Amino acid sequence: MMLDYLVRLIPLLLLVCGLAVFSLWLYRRMQPGVSFGQRERALKVIDALPMGPLSRLAVVEFAGKRYLIAVSRGRVDRIAEADAPKFALPDDE
């Protein structure tokens, strides 16, 4: 009697686990706003430096300019602005 119960339980348990994994995979794949390929973004975060538990400094590139911004809880301030470099040197020099 117990063996009959286990013979029915194990395939159903595997089916439920498989459906759970499949649904999580499908949810991740079909999330709104997530593109399936790489695309060119208008905004790039170049670097960010934490300044404390709730604040940080960040360098953001947008429309050929770089902005140094301070980000804290509920506030974003632009500190400086500069033209973006035309080319970047390799880091291995």
Domain limits, the chain? 1-30, 42-83
Asked if residue 32 has pLDDT above 70, the reply is: no
Is the pTM above the cut of 0.85? no
> In the predicted model, is pLDDT for residue 21 greater than 90?
yes
What is the radius of gyration, based on Cα positions, of the chain? 25
Please answer whether residues 67 and 48 qualify as being in contact, where contact means their C-beta atoms are separated by less than 8 angstroms.
no
Give residues with Cβ within 8 angstroms of 63, minimum separation 6.
42
Per-residue pLDDT band at 67 (split at 50, 70, 90): very high
